[in-house]
Amino acid sequence: MDPSPNDSPESVEKLPLGQRLFDNMYLLLALGLLVMFGVFTGWGLWEILSMPTSTLP
């Protein structure tokens, strides 16, 4: 029996990097949490540091 041409390793197409990253749900979860914490922490720090100093009564 002759092997079919579809069984050769050359015919197996490697998935692109973007698709492999988007298929990994744990990586997407970690990236989402890191971005959220980074943005909100940076935004909070910016707000605190840019507040004018208040005078005490």
Supply the pLDDT for residue 29: 97
How many folded domains does the chain comprise? 1
Let me know if residue 40 belongs to a domain: yes
pLDDT of residue 2: 55
The answer to whether residues 22 and 28 touch, using CB atoms and an 8 Å cutoff, is yes
Question: 33: domain range?
Answer: 16-46
pLDDT of 1-55, one tens digit each? 555 556 565 667 899 999 998 999 999 999 999 999 999 999 999 999 999 988 8
User: Which residues have C-beta within 8 Å of that of residue 5, sequence separation ≥ 6?
Assistant: 11
Question: Hey, what are 53's tokens?
Answer: 């100093």
Q: CA triplet 44, 53, 56: central angle to 5 degrees?
A: 125
Domain for residue 10, yes or no? no
Map tokens 């069984």 to a residue.
7
Whether residue 34 is contained in a domain is answered as yes
The pLDDT value given to residue 12: 78
What span, in angstroms and rounded, lies between the C-alpha atoms of 22 and 28? Answer: 7
Q: Does residue 22 form part of some domain?
A: yes
The pTM score is 0.59
Q: What is the pLDDT of residue 37?
A: 97
Task: Let me know if residue 54 belongs to a domain.
Answer: no
